[in-house]
Amino acid sequence: MPTSPTGCPSNSRAASSSASPWRALVIEPTVLLLDEPLSNLDAKLRQEMKTEIRVLQKSLALTTIFVTHDQDEAISVSDRLVVMSAGKVEQIGTPREVFERPASAFVADFMGFANLVPVRIDGEGRGQLRNGMSIAIDKASPIRGEGLLALRAEHMSLSSQPMNGKMNATEATVETLTYRGSFIDYLVRLDDDTRLQVRGEAQSPFMPGQRTFVAWQPEAGTLVASAQA
């Protein structure tokens, strides 16, 4: 069976999809629009094509608008990101700026912050969760009053013992765990019924129903305005 330059069968949907961005280059455009170009590809080919698109775009010095609903694609092929919701621009910035400092709850959710925890900002550098726990927060945030603390699952940890005083920590109960090979994704529930997603090591799993401590460094959390604000 004949193959494409990517090694896929030339009569396959994957080959057709992977070739489509390059057909537009025949007319030597000044701006290239790619609208979900990788959506029909399998995971391995999608990764290869992201690299190819980035290399080609740089080598041709071609302005490219890449439309996607995949945050990994967005940060890996771009120099600047424009995150939009319902036709409204939520944030513009470099991939690092948007990934590390989302400007809204929508952007935080899109960029992979698995936890958006309601928090009341008591003063500079301090906040309070719904369970009454006082936590250290980002001093530089302009948000006051009610807000959301955005936390990534991989920036949190579980322990059978209380953490050191420099970390924010509270008790929780493990509800579910999902084995992912090199790590485990946990869903834990705080005493006020707040649920958090935590990514832990696969070597020492906690079991459903087990009491534990969930903790994170103060700088791991990013404050964003609540969706109602």
**By the 8 A CB rule, do 99 and 76 touch?**
no
- Taking CA 114 as the corner, what is the angle to CA 109 and CA 118, rounded to the nearest 5 degrees? 85
**150 alpha carbon, distance to own chain's centre:** 10
Q: What pLDDT shows up at residue 21?
A: 59
Q: What pLDDT shows up at residue 6?
A: 44
pTM of the model as a whole: 0.78
Q: What pLDDT shows up at residue 142?
A: 74
197/142 Cα distance (integer angstroms):
26
The pLDDT averaged over each successive group of 10 residues in the chain (229 residues) is 43 52 69 87 87 85 89 90 94 95 94 93 84 81 85 94 83 94 94 93 89 92 78
**By the 8 A CB rule, do 116 and 108 touch?**
yes
**221 alpha carbon, distance to own chain's centre:** 13
DSSP assigned state of 80: S
